[in-house]
Amino acid sequence: MTSCPSRRFLAQLLTGSGVGGAVGKGRAAGVGRKLIDVPGYTFRLFVTSCAAEPAEIWRDYNRRADMENRIAELKHDLGAHGFCLKKFFATEAAFRSVLLLFNLLAEFQRAAGLPGYREPATIRAQVLTCGAILGRAGRRVVVHLSQSWGGLQTRIPSLESILACEFPISPKLHPVLQI
């Protein structure tokens, strides 16, 4: 450890040395132990080499707090695990296509006006999956949607919201799209 007193104190807190109290069998010292107990407050301890202000460090780490959940959704809901192709670039392309799908689903949620965040599996089950059968209405081929799904009438507000949505486009692409 360094000779910096604050780092030495943090190291003592993390390892449990210099702090009274029993440690359970088979557990590392200091792991899962309550060091400070103040009712109504939750304390977090960050050990970092960043020179930024403490509030900025907290904001940076807090933005990434839910990252493990997004990775688990990529793995379990969108199948981003268990594939490894012979060539690296093929594996990268497959993974990037899963990330593209994840981003498209996030944009779909925003455009459809769905309240709050929904996992990809939830969107698939509640919004996108529908029993249907191909049939005819006169001479036209039509798709008959299942009523147990809620039917088309319950989906019309979401579809109108999607059709009315303005999708942001990079300013670099505006001249190309006006041709």
pLDDT given at position 58? 82
Gap between the Cα atoms of 141 and 110, Å rounded:
32
* 39 plus 114 within the same structural domain: no
* 81 plus 169 within the same structural domain: yes
* 126 plus 71 within the same structural domain: yes
* 160 plus 89 within the same structural domain: yes
pLDDT given at position 15? 45
How many Cβ atoms sit within 10 Å of the Cβ of residue 80?
19
- In-domain check, residue 76: yes
pLDDT per position as a tens digit, 162-171 = 888 887 777 7
Residues of the chain with pLDDT under 70: 1-35, 174-179
Closest C-alpha among 126, 72, 129, 60 to residue 102:
72
* 103 plus 169 within the same structural domain: yes
pLDDT given at position 112? 85
* 127 plus 162 within the same structural domain: yes
* 111 plus 127 within the same structural domain: yes
Strands, E assignment, the chain: 132-137, 140-145
Tell me how many domains the chain contains. Answer: 2
Contact 80, 74 (CB under 8 A): yes
Complete DSSP assignment for 30-82 = TTT------TT-----------S-HHHHHHHHHHTTTHHHHHHHHHHTS--SS
pLDDT given at position 163? 84
**Residue-range definition of the domain harbouring residue 45:** 5-20+29-63
Please give the model's pTM, rounded to 2 decimal places: 0.53
Amino acid letter, 163: L
pLDDT per position as a tens digit, 10-29 = 444 444 444 444 444 554 55
- In-domain check, residue 179: no
